[in-house]
């Protein structure tokens, strides 16, 4: 009896799909950075509910970015820098700082989100965040975001720069 077999996708097709995934990854992280910035403005204006919504959107988009990014890597789509030698050192310094801070950003963001969630759970609602059990969590949340927001924005902006540089001076790695 004959059965269905799945043949591997042609390399050209896989490369096209990975390139599209890469573009969507960039779009999601740009939108995440915008939502993060809006969330910061909203909390500075005292609008806790809109802040919470903006940060949930920023976090969801960053999570989607990570899924898309890892999918793209899993498909074997990678670019290497082939630009001017005079820029190589600056490019790799930017890339290394981006990678290290991106790795640090995940636990920072999770710590900030965890404390916000625990604070909201303790408060019962956003109007009651001054209650002593909730206040402890929101104070911790504020301490975490003092580090998380600048790191998140740095990683997002440097990621966009790297994307643009590799768009001009990148070559897809084969194999």
The residue from 77, 94, 126 where one domain ends is 77
Q: What is the pLDDT of residues 127-157, one digit of tens each?
A: 898 899 899 999 999 999 999 999 999 999 9
- Note whether 100 and 50 are same-domain residues: no
Question: Is 5 within the bounds of a domain?
Answer: no
Alpha-carbon distance values, 132 to 41, 76, 101, 103 (Å): 26, 51, 33, 33
Q: How many domains does the chain have?
A: 2
**57 lies in which domain range?**
10-77
- Note whether 16 and 70 are same-domain residues: yes
Rounded Cα gap, residues 19 and 24, in angstroms: 9
7-11: average pLDDT = 66
Residue 88, C-beta contacts closer than 8 angstroms, at least 6 positions apart:
81
Q: Please list the residues that pair with 170 across neighbouring strands.
A: 81
- Note whether 23 and 87 are same-domain residues: no
pTM of the predicted structure, to 2 decimals: 0.86
- At residue 172, the 3 state secondary structure works out as strand
């Amino acid at each position: 009896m004959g059965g269905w077999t799945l043949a591997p996708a042609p390399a050209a097709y896989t490369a096209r799909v990975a390139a599209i995934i890469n573009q969507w990854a960039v779009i999601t992280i740009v939108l995440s950075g915008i939502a993060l910035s809006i969330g910061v403005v909203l909390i500075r204006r005292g609008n806790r509910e809109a802040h919470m919504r903006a940060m949930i959107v920023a976090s969801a988009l960053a999570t989607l970015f990570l899924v898309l990014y890892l999918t793209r890597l899993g498909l074997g789509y990678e670019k290497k820098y082939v630009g001017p030698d005079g820029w190589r050192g600056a490019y790799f310094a930017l890339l290394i700082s981006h990678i290290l801070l991106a790795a640090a950003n995940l636990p920072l963001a999770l710590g900030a989100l965890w404390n916000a969630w625990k604070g909201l759970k303790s408060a019962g609602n956003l109007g009651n965040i001054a209650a002593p059990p909730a206040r402890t969590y929101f104070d911790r949340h504020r301490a975490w975001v003092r580090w998380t927001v600048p790191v998140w924005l740095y990683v997002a902006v440097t990621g966009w720069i790297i994307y643009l540089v590799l768009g001009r001076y990148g070559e897809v790695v084969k194999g």
